[in-house]
Amino acid sequence: MKRTVFILIGMALCLVLADKVQAQRCLPGMKGLRLTAGMADGFHSASRRNELGYHFGLSMDSYTKGCSKWVFGAEYLQKYHPYKDTRLPMSQFTAEGGYYYNFLSDANK
């Protein structure tokens, strides 16, 4: 019950405090920075405190003509795997780079 009330109050505050809506445009040369973070093995609780993993990521988007974009980024993942009576930490670094070609789009944008 408390969770539902908290969510409803948060939604109401978002509606009351928002005075205008802005949409992201795909303008050539526009750049964006994306920061992500989260739990890798579910939600945090006191009973699972030593079992959870986490991840962090950072990427940069650069839009080109036609609303296509270049993406460059990196991510770090930390997980724990059980082994007998202990747990083994596993770290993973990932890099990404790519070109997203926009071929299906609304002509009225």
Q: What is the pLDDT of residues 87-99, one digit of tens each?
A: 788 899 999 999 9
27 CB contacts (<8 Å, ≥6 apart)? 63
pLDDT tier at 58, thresholds 50, 70, 90: very high
DSSP state of 9: H
Mean pLDDT on 30-50: 77
Edge-first strand listing for the sheet containing 31-39? 31-39, 54-63, 69-83, 86-100
Domain ranges of the chain: 22-100
pLDDT for position 48:
59
**pTM here?**
0.62
Asked if residues 60 and 85 have their Cβ atoms less than 8 Å apart, the reply is: no
| Angle at the Cα of 21 from the Cα atoms of 11 and 35, rounded to 5 degrees | 75
pLDDT: is 79 or 18 the higher one?
A: 79
